[in-house]
Amino acid sequence: MSTGWLPAALLYGAFGLALARAPRHAAMPGLLALVAAAATATWVVPSAWRDRATFVGWLVAAFAAALVHRRAGLSSPAAFALAVLAGGCAGATTAAPLPALLCAAAALLAARASMRRMPLALGVAASWLVAVAVLAAVLALLPVTPGNLPDHLE
Amino acid sequence: MSRRRTGVAKPSSRAAAVAAAVLLLASGAAAAHDGSGLPGGFAQGFRHPFGGADHQLAMVSVGLWGAFLGRPLIHRLPLLFPVVMAGGGALGMLGLPWPSLETGIALSVLVLGGCIALGLRAPAWAALSLVAFFALFHGYAHGRELPSAADPVGYSLGFVLATGLLHLLGIALGALNARPGGVAATRGLGGAIAIAGGAFLYKALAA
């Protein structure tokens, strides 16, 4: 269940937050790897695989957001691998990666600023992203949403 | 070296103002619990926790109790709740059976309100376990009530964000503890929340 650019944007955002926990010198290679993987996936991955790619993308987003809470942070090789994975999934889910790609850079900048002044905000954003990604991954498995069932108070 | 332990956090006043403004804008429309068709999307998802008093009181209580417990729980409780809530939401979306949903949600309001009223300083593992347990119930309710939506991902984003803001409001209310008579005021607020929880529980059991 893909919904336009939103899955890719959130995935890029989660990656940006995780990249903030990596060494500074890993940022540029990570972003370049993200762009390259996204561009490659856009051309290579068949559109019939889009829903599967969306589901995997949500799992990757949850994983990336969860890495923010890792005390040891993210190593450079891990950041590069995550970039390839995130870019590949996001590129396969949307035909317009560039607008969503801005989310990765914006999230990275916001996360670095947050780490200096209010590190808790980074953790909060990451937790929220994990929650949304988990829910979205489940939604991707469902043929229909639960619908309008009676409220639990009724 | 003695460690000054106030058990009270000093939340950002800006954050409290944002949370209050959001509540003023979002409260009123009881969109969450009318049981009728909703188009979904971010706006509906955001309004959903505000539309139900049980959800609102429980979310605020998590933040307020965290403020009582101080560091690190003032941070960890609001970090843990959305994640576990998402797990409960996933179970709800999948339609798995869940025992006594209404009772569990009512109990969450009663127990969390009671913890605040009693000024209960539980160990970290107990507080986290309790909050996680109740988060499953709230998440399940949100998941089961997810309407057939044009943008269900936006809906999920909305109610997770709204939940977080309610936690923030609770933490902001915890700032009262630092004022003269503030502890009594917040414990009184906890008592009122617990009474409301008791009423919800009575309604759930009588149904």
Distance CA B135, CA B111 (A): 13
Contacts of A114 in chain B (CB under 8 A): none
B144 in reach of chain A (CB within 8 A): yes
Contacts of A144 in chain B (CB under 8 A): 148
CA distance A84 to chain B (A): 24
Structural contact between residues B11 and B168, judged by C-beta atoms closer than 8 angstroms: yes
Q: Looking at residue A27, what is its pLDDT?
A: 85
Structure ipTM: 0.72
Percent of chain B with pLDDT over 90: 33
Residue A118 phi, psi dihedral angles, 5° rounding: -150, 75
Top-confidence range, A98-107, B12-21, B29-38: A98-107
Give the closest of B94, B145, B156 to A149, CB-based.
B145
B164 in reach of chain A (CB within 8 A): yes
Length of chain A: 154
Q: Do B94 and A135 touch (CB under 8 A)?
A: no
Contacts of A1 in chain B (CB under 8 A): 152-153
Q: Residues B46-50: what's their mean pLDDT? A: 83
Distance CA A118, CA B167 (A): 17
A59 in reach of chain B (CB within 8 A): no
Q: Residues B87-110: what's their mean pLDDT? A: 89
A3 in reach of chain B (CB within 8 A): yes
Contacts of B82 in chain A (CB under 8 A): 127-128, 130-131
Q: Residues B26-32: what's their mean pLDDT? A: 37
Higher-confidence position of A120 and B70: B70
Give the closest of B37, B105, B144 to A146, CB-based.
B144
Structural contact between residues B110 and B60, judged by C-beta atoms closer than 8 angstroms: no
Q: Residues B100-127: what's their mean pLDDT? A: 93
> Token pair 């290579």 is at which residue?
A44
Q: Looking at residue B106, what is its pLDDT?
A: 93
Percent of chain B with pLDDT over 70: 79
A139 in reach of chain B (CB within 8 A): yes
Length of chain B: 207
Contacts of A128 in chain B (CB under 8 A): 82, 160-161, 164
pLDDT in tens, B123-179: 999 999 999 999 999 999 888 877 665 577 788 888 888 998 999 899 889 888 888
Q: State the amino acid at position B17 in one-letter form.
A: A
Distance CA B110, CA B196 (A): 7
C-alpha distances out from residue B147 to A29, B58, B189, Å: 42, 22, 33
Q: Looking at residue B123, what is its pLDDT?
A: 92
Q: Residues A47-66: what's their mean pLDDT? A: 88
Residue A154: count of CB within 10 angstroms of its CB: 10
A150 in reach of chain B (CB within 8 A): yes
Q: Do A154 and B75 touch (CB under 8 A)?
A: no
pLDDT in tens, B176-191: 888 888 889 999 999 9
B10 in reach of chain A (CB within 8 A): no
User: What is A82-118 written as a DSSP string?
Assistant: HHHHHHHHHHHH-S-HHHHHHHHHHHHHHHHHHHHH-
Contacts of A118 in chain B (CB under 8 A): 12
B2 pLDDT higher than 60? no
pLDDT in tens, A94-133: 766 566 667 777 777 777 777 766 677 788 888 989 998 9
- pLDDT band per the 50, 70, 90 thresholds, residue B13: very low
- pLDDT band per the 50, 70, 90 thresholds, residue A9: confident
B23 pLDDT higher than 60? no
Q: Looking at residue B4, what is its pLDDT?
A: 39
Q: Residues B186-197: what's their mean pLDDT? A: 94
Q: Do A123 and B79 touch (CB under 8 A)?
A: yes
Structural contact between residues A31 and A105, judged by C-beta atoms closer than 8 angstroms: yes
CA B152 to chain centre: 21
pTM of this structure: 0.76
